[in-house]
Amino acid sequence: MRNVVLITGSAGLIGSEAARFFADRGHRIVGIDNDMRKYLFGTEASTEWNRNRLSADLPAYRHVNADIRDEAAMGALFEELASDLCLIIHTAAQPSHDWAAKEPLTDFTINANGTLVLLELTRKHCPEVPFIFTSTNKVYGDTPNGLPLVEKAERWEIDESHPFFAHGIDETMTIDQSMHSLFGASKVAADMLVQEYGRYFGMKTACFRGGCLTGPAHSGTQLHGFLAYLMKCAATGAPYTVFGYGGKQVRDNIHSNDLVNAFWHFFQKPRSGEVYNMGGGRHSNCSMLEAIRLCEDITGLKLNHSYSEANRMGDHIWWISDTRRFEAHYPDWKRDYDVAAILEEIYVVNRDRWREAS
């Protein structure tokens, strides 16, 4: 019986959420994670704590400490598991704009080459198994910044007359002629590969182009992990820097459980070469200033923050995902968390661990 879910980046935010979600539904989990996040962002971003927690909590979890770029190691694993696999969830990535510019070759080989290795091994050993990829809204580059935006007291907002106002940005937005950052470019390459393996080879593949993915299992750091890192700073008194746009830049935020639940729905009825914008939508979004206020309300502490006029290269001023395409295909899916509930859970689950480490 095919009952194994293979998850890359299994000790990270989405990978660990997926491991728990699918294990709770009776699946055996094989997780690939080599704690690359520690190399990328330093000790504070290490996912070792989450890996240890997974191993302790899930009897059905098997950990593989390997690099997705290692064709020999990945090939041996696929050969071993091919007849047992029922789903592949690919979440492993280099996820930071800023870090990508430091080591472009590392960024590209992780995001693009690593994805190609996994896709080709899936095609070779188990082409009928669905392949889910956590892409990003950064594939659109800075095109969203050309929308007619209006500055409000605490946030940027799109003009109410624009078609994107009611539900957010849909998948028709172009990815061309924009600045993506090198991270965005490497994720574009991976995104296109996942689509092409679906369309050209008929494999069941899907790109979930996430906005801000978040939740209590996030090892947040300055270069990646907006809400988790913001709440960590609020709870511990660590300094936080707001970069550009007056702190009014808007993100939609989706809880890792809501995203993985979307994966589950796709798994039940997979399609080929699909692309879905996936985020909190109008249900769950906030500006930086609004998020700071919420963190201060939840912790009862003032955030120690400063402001830098320089925004991050290729950063979005306003992003809200239109998820209606996915909802049309999977009408039983819904989001359970809004921003306030996400921040509250991040704080409650992590405050003791953060304070002990600080």
Q: What mean pLDDT is predicted for residues 47-68?
A: 96
pLDDT digits (tens, 9 = 90+) for 174-205: 999 999 999 999 999 999 999 999 999 999 99
Q: What mean pLDDT is predicted for residues 119-134?
A: 98
Residue 355: which pLDDT band, with cuts at 50, 70 and 90?
confident
Q: Looking at the chain, how many residues does it have?
A: 358
For position 33, what pLDDT does the model report?
Answer: 98
For position 262, what pLDDT does the model report?
Answer: 98
End-to-end Cα separation, the chain, in angstroms: 47
For position 97, what pLDDT does the model report?
Answer: 85
Residue 225 φ then ψ, to 5°: 110, 60
Q: What mean pLDDT is predicted for residues 128-151?
A: 97
Query: Quick one: residue 114, left, alpha or beta (phi over 0 = left, psi -120 to 50 = alpha)?
Result: alpha
Q: Which helix (DSSP H) or strand (DSSP E) does residue 182 occupy?
A: helix 181-201
Find out whether 139 and 187 touch, Cβ atoms under 8 Å: yes
Bridge partners (DSSP) of residue 240 are 305
Q: Which residue has the tokens 């405050």?
A: 351
Residues with Cβ within 8 Å of residue 59, at least 6 apart in sequence: none
pLDDT digits (tens, 9 = 90+) for 23-44: 999 999 999 999 999 999 899 8
pLDDT digits (tens, 9 = 90+) for 299-342: 999 999 999 998 877 789 999 999 999 999 999 999 999 999 99
Query: What count of other Cβ atoms lies within 10 Å of the Cβ of residue 2?
Result: 15
Tokens representing 302 are 């003032």
Angle subtended at Cα 271 by Cα 265 and Cα 274, rounded to the nearest 5 degrees? 95
Residue 179 φ then ψ, to 5°: -95, 120
Q: What mean pLDDT is predicted for residues 262-286?
A: 98
pLDDT beyond 70 at 358? no
pLDDT beyond 90 at 121? yes
Lowest-pLDDT range, 13-27, 61-75, 210-224, 269-283?
210-224
Domain borders along the chain are: 4-357
Tokens representing 32 are 């690939």
Q: What mean pLDDT is predicted for residues 160-164?
A: 98
For position 269, what pLDDT does the model report?
Answer: 98
pLDDT beyond 70 at 85? yes
CA–CA separation, 311 vs 105, rounded Å? 24
For position 250, what pLDDT does the model report?
Answer: 97
Bridge partners (DSSP) of residue 318 are 250
Q: What is the mean pLDDT of the chain?
A: 95
Q: What mean pLDDT is predicted for residues 139-167?
A: 97
From the DSSP assignment, how many helices (H) and strands (E) are in the chain? 13, 14
Lowest-pLDDT range, 110-124, 167-181, 217-231, 276-290?
217-231
DSSP string, 96-143: -HHHHHH-HHHHHIIIIIHHHHHHHHHHHH-TTS-EEEEEEGGGGTTG
CA–CA separation, 289 vs 121, rounded Å? 45
Residues with Cβ within 8 Å of residue 208, at least 6 apart in sequence: 132, 133, 134, 135, 259, 262, 263, 276, 278
CA–CA separation, 289 vs 105, rounded Å? 35
Q: Which amino acid is at 141?
A: G
Name the residue among 143, 188, 148, 169 with its Cα closest to residue 324.
169
Q: Are strands 240-243 and 305-308 parallel, antiparallel or unpaired?
A: parallel
> Under CATH, domain 4-357 is a member of which superfamily?
NAD(P)-binding Rossmann-like Domain (3.40.50.720)
For position 220, what pLDDT does the model report?
Answer: 67
Find out whether 282 and 166 touch, Cβ atoms under 8 Å: yes
